[in-house]
């Protein structure tokens, strides 16, 4: 493309991850001319990924770019595929927890969830225990009350998860959709009023620059980049677009996770198959534990997932540890019986067993050893909205001259209280059912444990609210104060819910696409 080219479209979508690709797919075949600008190419590229680099200046978060991938398909390129819709209570304001509550309700989104299921090709829109805890599945834990409940996430098949790859041909074939790769948007330009976007400036790492003018623009670059692009676009609005109330970048949300406790089972094998990845009728899903919504509402808490992770004792985290494990395995005669070719003069493992062991030595050891010391209870907390938790611009600039960002991740007392109270409840229920005992790690400690990290779900920096003083976008995902700038993706979540975000991202993108098709056709 010649330098300085000015492209035009009806809709310009910035970013080709879960949200951007869904938008493009939904707009394909419509009368609207769509240009999708994707920073990366078809494959991972370290130089492009480095444009995401940023600092963490709050609660330790790890590498800011780790959860994200900057090429076609975006973060779906390393997505675990877990899907579950938000529940009705997730949309409600919680007493005593400020900034909770969505302007939308569950029924508003149900039709779009049903379509989102089709995008990721899940077998059903049914997440009920009745559907998944069938006779073909290991049973959920037999708890005696409904204060702790088992829930399921469906898992998208691995070959579908990278949406860029899955829908590449479909996008290529769409006559009204053009996807431009290696196109990094560096600024959003507006008219003099600063209320209408006229074009976006794009640059390649090779030095080319061009612009795209459109009637409507949709930011779909993830929670960090959406905020960053709005903040750096400050030619007409000194604080950045949509930031007249200082909210852009604030309310950064995550699903904080850490090892919160152990379940020590009373039996040798507590049959936790329901809580491991497994298939029923060929469909992949896994179970988890959570407190009931009634408990959350009564106690003034948000949601909290508890994942059960089998703990087999010493992990082979170094060469000496791995050698010890191999020795243990070599001495484990019962394992060799199953894995070796009978009739041979000495134990010879089968080819497939060797293959598996080479691919994943640690897991292979775990399978073979086959006895459980304890069950790790890992949390995935629905972080309470906190305005101090935010993305900010810093002085450093990336290779394209854009300010980099820093994450000042802040958590709240209610997040910590949520873990403590939910695990106490779980312990009581587990004990009452005779399943075992729960040991809470770091009980009643005010701070956060060293292994605290994000759940790789970045959300909330352009939150949705009908009130411009409470949110950056309205219920239609349009930036408050802007006539033609929309935001897609998890940055619009006012609260993160207990579920994984991708299905919601896709559902909201479908809803936005419908809205654009309906309004722009007029």
Task: Look at strands 403-408 and 34-37 and give their pairing.
Answer: unpaired
Question: Does 342 sit near another protein (CB under 8 A)?
Answer: yes
Burial of 421-453, coded b for 16+ CB within 10 Å and e otherwise, reads bbbebbbebbeeeebbebebbbeeeeebeeebb
Closer by beta carbon to another protein, 191 or else 338: 338
Alpha carbons 460 and 493: distance in angstroms, whole number: 5
Overall size of the chain counted in residues:
522
CA distance to 61, 137, 156, 189, 279, per residue, from 283 (Å): 34, 11, 9, 46, 5
Closer by beta carbon to another protein, 41 or else 273: 273
Q: Which of 352, 413, 444, 450 binds another protein (CB under 8 A)?
A: 352
Q: Which of 118, 334, 466, 467 binds another protein (CB under 8 A)?
A: 334
Alpha carbons 257 and 237: distance in angstroms, whole number: 37
Question: Does 271 sit near another protein (CB under 8 A)?
Answer: yes
Closer by beta carbon to another protein, 136 or else 235: 136
Question: Does 363 sit near another protein (CB under 8 A)?
Answer: yes
Question: Does 282 sit near another protein (CB under 8 A)?
Answer: no
Closest CA to 458 of 519, 371, 393, 391: 391
Question: Does 345 sit near another protein (CB under 8 A)?
Answer: yes
Question: Does 517 sit near another protein (CB under 8 A)?
Answer: no
Q: Which of 11, 202, 223, 284 binds another protein (CB under 8 A)?
A: 284
- 295 to 314, contacts with another protein by CB under 8 A? none
CB of 392 to another protein, least distance (A): 42
Question: Does 283 sit near another protein (CB under 8 A)?
Answer: no
Closer by beta carbon to another protein, 81 or else 242: 81
Task: Tell me the three state secondary structure of residue 235.
Answer: coil
Q: Which residue has the tokens 């409904």?
A: 146
Closest CA to 403 of 413, 392, 411, 412: 392
Question: Does 274 sit near another protein (CB under 8 A)?
Answer: yes
Q: 324 Cβ partners below 8 Å, 6+ apart? A: 314, 316
Burial of 372-391, coded b for 16+ CB within 10 Å and e otherwise, reads bebbbbbbbbbbbbbeebbb
Q: Which of 8, 337, 483, 519 binds another protein (CB under 8 A)?
A: 337
Using CB under 8 A, which of the segments 46-54, 363-371, 418-426, 492-500 binds another protein? 363-371
CB of 435 to another protein, least distance (A): 16
Task: Look at strands 403-408 and 54-56 and give their pairing.
Answer: parallel
CB of 376 to another protein, least distance (A): 16
Q: Which of 173, 319, 346, 518 binds another protein (CB under 8 A)?
A: 346
Closer by beta carbon to another protein, 319 or else 351: 351
Closest CA to 109 of 374, 499, 400: 499
Other CB atoms within a 10 A radius of the CB of residue 301 amount to: 24
Question: Does 276 sit near another protein (CB under 8 A)?
Answer: yes
Other CB atoms within a 10 A radius of the CB of residue 410 amount to: 15
Q: Which of 360, 445, 451, 466 binds another protein (CB under 8 A)?
A: 360
Question: Does 5 sit near another protein (CB under 8 A)?
Answer: no
Residues contacting another protein: total by CB under 8 A = 37
Q: Which of 98, 103, 194, 273 binds another protein (CB under 8 A)?
A: 273
Closer by beta carbon to another protein, 299 or else 356: 356
Angle at 45 between CA 42 and CA 50, to 5 degrees: 135
Q: Which of 96, 321, 370, 447 binds another protein (CB under 8 A)?
A: 370
Q: Which of 43, 146, 170, 269 binds another protein (CB under 8 A)?
A: 269
Question: Does 281 sit near another protein (CB under 8 A)?
Answer: no
Interface map 112-141 toward another protein (x if CB under 8 A): -------------------------xx---
CB of 211 to another protein, least distance (A): 48
Using CB under 8 A, which of the segments 21-29, 270-278, 419-427, 511-519 binds another protein? 270-278
308 — phi, psi (to 5°)?
-100, 120
In degrees to the nearest 10, what's the CA dihedral of 62, 18, 154, 458? Answer: 30
* End-to-end CA separation in angstroms for the chain: 32
Question: Does 440 sit near another protein (CB under 8 A)?
Answer: no
Q: Which of 45, 92, 157, 277 binds another protein (CB under 8 A)?
A: 277
Closer by beta carbon to another protein, 317 or else 352: 352
CA distance to 20, 43, 347, 468, per residue, from 130 (Å): 34, 41, 45, 42
Contact residues for another protein (CB under 8 A)?
A: 137-138, 269, 271, 273-274, 276-279, 284, 333-334, 336-348, 350-353, 356, 360, 363-364, 367, 370, 372
């Amino acid at each position: 493309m010649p330098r300085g080219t000015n492209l035009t479209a009806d809709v310009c979508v910035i970013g080709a991850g879960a949200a951007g690709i869904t938008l493009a797919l939904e707009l394909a075949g419509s009368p609207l001319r769509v240009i999708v600008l994707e920073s990366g190419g078809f494959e991972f590229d370290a130089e492009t990924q480095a444009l995401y680099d940023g600092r963490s200046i709050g609660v330790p978060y790890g590498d800011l770019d780790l959860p994200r991938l900057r090429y076609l398909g975006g973060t779906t390129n390393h997505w675990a595929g877990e899907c579950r819709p938000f529940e009705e209570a997730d949309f409600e304001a919680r007493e005593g927890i400020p900034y909770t509550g969505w302007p939308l309700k569950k029924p508003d989104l149900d039709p779009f969830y049903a379509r989102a299921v089709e995008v990721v090709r899940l077998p059903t829109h049914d997440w009920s225990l009745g559907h998944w805890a069938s006779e073909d599945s290991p049973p959920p834990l037999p708890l005696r009350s409904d204060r702790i409940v088992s829930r399921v996430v469906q898992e998208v098949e691995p070959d579908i998860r990278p949406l860029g790859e899955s829908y590449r041909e479909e996008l290529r074939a769409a006559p009204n959709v053009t996807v431009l790769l290696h196109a990094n948007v560096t600024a959003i330009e507006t008219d003099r009023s600063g209320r209408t976007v006229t074009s976006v400036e794009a640059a390649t790492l090779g030095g080319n620059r061009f612009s795209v003018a459109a009637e409507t623009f949709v930011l779909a670059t993830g929670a960090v980049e959406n905020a960053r692009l709005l903040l750096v676009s400050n030619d007409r609005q000194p604080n950045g677009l949509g930031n007249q109330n200082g909210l852009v970048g604030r309310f950064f949300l995550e699903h904080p996770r850490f090892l919160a406790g152990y379940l020590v089972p009373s039996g040798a094998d507590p049959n936790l198959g329901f809580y491991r990845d497994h298939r029923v009728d060929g469909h992949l899903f896994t179970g988890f534990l959570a407190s009931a919504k009634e408990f959350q509402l009564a106690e003034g808490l948000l949601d909290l997932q508890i994942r059960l992770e089998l703990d087999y004792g010493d992990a082979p985290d170094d060469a000496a540890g791995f050698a010890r494990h191999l020795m243990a395995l070599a001495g484990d005669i019962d394992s060799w019986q199953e894995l070796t070719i009978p009739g041979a003069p000495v134990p010879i493992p089968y080819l497939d067993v060797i293959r598996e062991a080479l691919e994943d030595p640690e897991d292979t050891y775990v399978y073979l050893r086959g006895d459980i010391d304890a069950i790790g209870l890992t949390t995935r907390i629905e972080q309470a909205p906190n305005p101090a938790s935010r993305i900010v611009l810093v002085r450093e600039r990336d290779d394209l001259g854009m300010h980099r960002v820093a994450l000042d991740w802040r958590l709240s007392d209610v997040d910590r209280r949520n873990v403590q109270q939910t695990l106490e409840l779980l312990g009581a229920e587990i004990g009452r059912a005779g399943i075992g005992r729960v040991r809470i790690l770091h009980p009643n400690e005010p701070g956060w444990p060293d292994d605290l990290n994000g759940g790789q779900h970045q959300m909330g920096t352009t939150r949705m609210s009908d009130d411009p003083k409470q949110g950056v976008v309205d219920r239609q995902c349009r930036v408050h104060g802007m006539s033609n700038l929309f935001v897609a993706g998890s940055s619009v979540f006012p609260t993160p819910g207990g579920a994984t975000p991708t299905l919601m991202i896709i559902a909201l993108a479908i809803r936005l696409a419908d809205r654009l098709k309906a309004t722009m056709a007029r």
